[in-house]
Amino acid sequence: MGHPKKTSSHPPQSSESKSNPLAGLWHQVTHQVGQLRPTRQISRWFNVDDEKIAEILAAVRQQLPTTEALLIGKPQTGKSSIVRGLTGVSADIVGQGFKPHTRNTQRYAYPSEDLPLLIFTDTVGLGDVTQSTDSIVAELVQDLQVSSGKARILILTVKISDFALDSLRHIAQDLRQQFPAIPCLLAVTAVHEVYPPSLHNHPPYPPDIETVSRPFQVIQDSFKDLVDGTVLIDFTLEEDGFDPVFYGLESLRDALADLLPEAEAQALYQLLDEQDDASEQLGNLYRDVGRHYISAFAVMAATLAAVPLPFATMPVLTALQVSMVGLLGKLYGQILTPSQAGGVASAIAGGFFAQAIGRELIKFIPGLGSVIAASWAAAYTWALGEGACVYFGDLMGGKKPDPQKIQAAMKDAFSTAKARFKDEGRPI
């Protein structure tokens, strides 16, 4: 590494630097780092833009075994409940997750738009007497004509007590004629609505009750030439008092898997059979993408912390780490303001902030202080990024973030990163 030219030990101060001490510090640090490491300018490491995020996510997205499910049925026939059953997320999150897609459809991608394993398209106009069935069909046809490269399936939803099925049959006929290669599953829902008065909970599945089997058979017969399979389900809410909440979920899973390609079927089984493992694998996938950016922020933190300015670097490092948390939140589908990102960083960091003070004071040790401070800052920033990934991953999965899980991830990441950065002398 060459020595900097001794033309000036300080950069010229701009009017912004004079009026804003933090901006002045930033310019000073940038100048010093530019002299010490001319081939690795600060701007190079901090240049983490939306285009780069989109590029990485697009590459990962192409490898995912994504299934697109078109939910076709009247309102209140259990379409959103099917989404809850297959994803495991709460009703509130499902409701917020559906976004307008066309005039008569809305779409929900799980776990996110950027990296979806399941994409649900819901028809919202069916059953409305003012809405033309032909216009709904036209929108669905237009949507299906666009090749997505993903597996697709039609899921028709009918309440077991509803026998006004002409409009749904019309839609199913039109779609099957134009897209015979796309499989179609009929889901008969709300089974408990026809239970006899003496039955207050679900019987063993499948139910062997005449009040259920009779209407179920009638509906099956109505669609026998239009669907590739039929399943009987009853997905309720916890407060409804039925056990299990997702009655017939395994049958739905099996019916879907039978109609999907092998990779998509395996992904579906993982989501339902190995919920914890699948969540962990999915979280690791997001975390691997996030590490592209965590590493850049760690480099920046080490570079700034190596400058011998005790306590003065704290505001800059804090701003840097808050920016990192905000970026990771965006990756996981959480749009945060800087203040919100700062709140998340503070909430997940726990006792690590107390150690930050020790990092600043150790800079007073001649020679050794800056190296330790740099490795500490890089490792802490890395650990904070790992903790943020765990935090946002829990939210994405519809779970309450687990502080112990977050702290464990941070401690492991901190120990590993600190040793590596200290041994290497620079975090690259």
DSSP calls for 91-159: HHHHHHH-EE-SSSEEEEEES-SSS-SEEEEEE-STT-TTS-HHHHHHHHHHHHHS--SSEEEEEEEEE
* pLDDT tier, 127 (very low <50, low <70, confident <90, very high otherwise): low
In a domain, 19, yes or no: no
Q: Of 59 and 203, which is predicted with more confidence?
A: 203
Provide, rounded to the nearest whole percent, the portion of the chain with pLDDT above 70. 69
**Residue ending a domain, choose from 239, 254, 273:** 273
* pLDDT tier, 3 (very low <50, low <70, confident <90, very high otherwise): very low
Model confidence pLDDT, tens digit, residues 325-365? 888 888 888 888 877 888 888 888 765 555 544 444 444 44
Residue 25 pLDDT > 50: no
Query: Tokens for 42?
Result: 């600060």
Are residues 337 and 359 both part of a single domain?
yes
Are residues 233 and 347 both part of a single domain?
no
Are residues 79 and 197 both part of a single domain?
yes
Chain-centre distance for alpha carbon 76: 26
Give the CA dihedral 280, 286, 291, 292, nearest 10 degrees.
Answer: 160
**Residue 425, Ramachandran bin (φ over 0: left; ψ between -120 and 50: alpha; else beta):** left
Are residues 134 and 263 both part of a single domain?
yes
Are residues 70 and 210 both part of a single domain?
yes
Which residue in 169, 146, 140, 145 sits closest to 156, CA to CA? 169
Return the top range by mean pLDDT from 130-144, 158-172, 334-348, 398-412.
Answer: 158-172
Are residues 131 and 248 both part of a single domain?
yes
Which residue in 410, 381, 382, 394 sits closest to 332, CA to CA? 394
Which residue in 128, 132, 111 sits closest to 120, CA to CA? 111
Which residue in 137, 138, 142, 99 sits closest to 121, CA to CA? 99
Cβ–Cβ < 8 Å for 160, 192: no
Residue 9 pLDDT > 50: no
In a domain, 217, yes or no: yes
**Pairing relation of β-strands 99-100 and 67-73?**
unpaired
Give the CATH number, domain containing residue 127: 3.40.50.300
**Residue ending a domain, choose from 221, 249, 273:** 273
Q: Exposure of 424 by Cβ count < 10 A (0-12 exposed, 13-18 middle, 19+ buried)?
A: exposed
Q: What is the domain extent for residue 74? A: 65-273
**Residue ending a domain, choose from 224, 244, 273:** 273
Chain-centre distance for alpha carbon 144: 25
pTM over 0.75: no
Query: Tokens for 79?
Result: 């379409």
SS3 content of the chain, % helix, strand, coil (to 5): 60, 10, 30
The structural domain count of the chain equals 2
In a domain, 237, yes or no: yes
Q: Exposure of 3 by Cβ count < 10 A (0-12 exposed, 13-18 middle, 19+ buried)?
A: exposed
In a domain, 12, yes or no: no
Are residues 238 and 128 both part of a single domain?
yes
Are residues 88 and 164 both part of a single domain?
yes
Which residue in 197, 130, 139 sits closest to 171, CA to CA? 139
Residue 311 is given by DSSP the state T
Cβ neighbors of 99 (< 8 A, separation 6 or more) are 106, 107, 108
Query: Tokens for 55?
Result: 């590029």
Are residues 269 and 281 both part of a single domain?
no
Are residues 188 and 223 both part of a single domain?
yes
Residue 411 pLDDT > 80: yes
Q: Exposure of 104 by Cβ count < 10 A (0-12 exposed, 13-18 middle, 19+ buried)?
A: buried
